[in-house]
Structure formats: C-alpha cells, structure tokens
Structure 1
C-alpha cells in the first residue's frame, strides 16, 4: 500500500494521521470485521503520534479506551493522533477515529514513560 501516513511519520515526532486497511488477522482463518479493524488501529495512537525518541525512552500504554458514536463500516480506518507527556513519567495519546463514511469516535491511551 505504500506509506499510510497523511501527516507525520514514525521517524519524526509529533502528531500523526494514518489511513490504513491492513488490520492483522488476530485469529487464523477469521476475517477482521470493521469493529476489529478500528480497535486494532486505535491501539496504535501512541506510536503514530510519538513525541519521544524511541531509542532513549520507553512509553507503554497500560490501557486503551475507545468511544464510538456509531458502528464502523468498511475496511479503512483513519487514526488522527496526538500525544502529550509530562516530566514525571505520565502521558496521554488521544486520537480521532474515522472510517470511510467519516468520524466514528475517539480513543485514549494512558502512557507510562521511562528512560531505557
């Protein structure tokens, strides 16, 4: 498919916007449904919008909250994410979620941040 980033990239830090249809098969022989694709994509918000150097910092999302205002449709999911961090080792990755018909909801990931 090429580069899925519309804004940002993994080597660069800052907000990112990714449009992707490549949800992995979580169970052998099971085709992912639109909701499966959205939930897998929502879990990537902190990586899409990283603000820290991967080689010097670890940032782990211990939780993921997804709120949808309608059922997703189709194979495409857009994650438009931003990450905010604070010096004591906490952060938040916040993302707007879209499918081929438009906005469907938001996701939030709490982040634990520490030096490697």
Structure 2
C-alpha cells in the first residue's frame, strides 16, 4: 500500500500556495483576488512535519497585488513564496 504522508518539501510547497488565502485584506464577498502564479524560493531543505507560514497581501489600485509568504520549519526560516494577484470587484 502506498504511503499517504507528504514529504517536508511537499508540505512546504502546499503551505506556500496558501499565502493568498490566509492573508487576504479585502472583503471576500466584494472582491476577487486570484493568484496568477506562485514562486517558491528555498534556501534550505525543509525538515519535519510542521511548516509555518507568515503571509501578507499587498493590493494595489491598479488591480494587481502581491501575496508574500515567509516559510519556516522546525529549525527556523527556510524560504519565501510569492504570488502575483489579479484583483477586482465581483
């Protein structure tokens, strides 16, 4: 039977993709903010089961924004994730 557990790298990449959703600063019912890309830069190999995500979103009046995530494992900082956002009203 195949294992269903995720490797530390897969956990980290999944967490990096959550930045836009967990750091939204605009009302969900009035605005959409679609991440059009995801860039993850790691300066260390993730270790362990737990990954910490510290995310912030920076919307601009131009309709473009940025979600930036700092990523940590049990040893400390391991990298960052960024997502370009398409913003608009519903």
Common fold by TM > 0.5: yes
Q: Which residue of 1 aligns with 2:28?
A: 54
Instruction: Quote the Cα distance in structure 1 between the aligned partners of 2:64 and 2:47.
Output: 34
1:109 aligns with 2:83: yes
Instruction: Quote the Cα distance in structure 2 between the aligned partners of 1:86 and 1:70.
Output: 31
TM-score by length of 2: 0.94
Find the residue that maps to 1:97 and give its secondary structure: strand
Higher relative contact order by CA 8 Å / sep ≥ 6: 1 or 2? 2
TM-score by length of 1: 0.74
**Count of residues in Structure 1 that have an aligned counterpart in Structure 2:** 89
CA drift of 1:59 comes to: 0.3
List alignment gaps of at least 5 residues for structure 1: 1-27
List alignment gaps of at least 5 residues for structure 2: none
* Alignment RMSD (CA, Å): 1.2
Instruction: Encode CA deviations 1:18-39: one digit per residue, 9 max, x unaligned.
Output: xxxxxxxxxx853210000000
